Amino acid sequence: MRDLDRAARALREARESLERTDIVFHEARDARLRAEQAKLDATETWQARRVLGRLDPTCCPRCEEPLTAERRSQERSNSDCAVCTRPLPQVEPELAEAILAELDQVISSATAAEGEITSQHQKQQAEAELRRDEHEAARRALDDAMAGEHPVAQLQTLEIKAAELRGRLSATAPSEESQPGAGTSVTSVLAATRKQLLKVVNRASRTLLPEMDAEIIALCKRFGVQNLDSVKLDRAAHVNAVKDGEPHAYKDLSRGDRLRMRIATVIALLRIGKVRGVTSHPGLLIIDSIAAEELNKAAARSLISELQKITQELPTLQVVFTTAHPEFVDGLLPEDHVITAEGTHLF
């Protein structure tokens, strides 16, 4: 269990580092693209001015009235446009070349920065993959060591057997009045076993629930829950939230925050459950009208993106959701995963 915890922490740190590097990588790429676009715009503007400067219009392009000799003379003497009478833009080749050279330097610097961060990004990806493999190996080792059912499943099985044995004893054993002081050894053994298994479950929950809390907080903030300080999930699935330093009951949260927190909790359960080897979810998640609960576009797209990620992490999971806002899913989901309708009803 300790090896798995260490591997999980290392994997989480590697993923966080990769996310930070990924942000810088995209910023560097965008900076390089902006620099290239700026040079393209400057080049096209200069070339257009050179071409347009050589034109000798004979009439107004709007009304097709011929230009007067006075307008032409004014253009030659004062550099005022014969068509609109505004001053003609000055085309200075030296200045244009200097601007283009400066833009070339900007592109060169942006390209170098992008190359450097790309190398770091690739290293972080390799590190994350290595940590993922180590975590998977630790999880398999733990599964092999346990060599059987999960403690929760064992507890459920033993509880069923205990109930069966109690029923048999009550039907066949002598009454306590006829044998005062006689104990039920099997029941005592099962009770002791149950007690030990509860200790195992409680010990596991002390490690599992804090991981759940951290994942829920991260997802809620990504989904747009404002001023969330902490959450504390208990074994009864109660999410105890603290916002602005004050405890908030789940029922007192806004409808939008309740939806975000519910979905964040489900995703966290699935994600941490996969890491821990707890696969009790039926594999179907249905969400109706994502935008109905005060979700803005950014929060909705972030939520849908996380749902897409969890289906990639858990190939057996099916997620179905509806929305009246197609812009929420544009570019996020494959086309063959989206069903649309022209009329009022989907089917």
What SS3 state is found at 176?
Answer: coil
The answer to whether 340 touches 326, Cβ cutoff 8 Å, is yes
Q: How far apart are CA 280 and CA 268, in angstroms?
A: 13
DSSP state of 54: T
- Residue-level pLDDT at 88: 67
Long-range contacts (CB closer than 8 Å, 24 or more residues apart) made by 329-336: 329/301, 329/304, 332/301, 332/304, 332/305, 332/308, 333/304, 333/308
Q: How far apart are CA 305 and CA 223, in angstroms?
A: 10
- Residue-level pLDDT at 182: 45
Q: Cβ contacts of residue 217 below 8 Å, gap of 6+?
A: 228, 230, 231
Residue numbers in the chain where pLDDT is lower than 70: 1-2, 4, 47-56, 76, 88-92, 142-156, 168-185, 279, 291-295, 343-347
Residue 145's CB is within 10 A of a number of other CB atoms, namely 11
Residues facing 321 on adjacent strands? 287
- Residue-level pLDDT at 181: 45
- Residue-level pLDDT at 180: 46
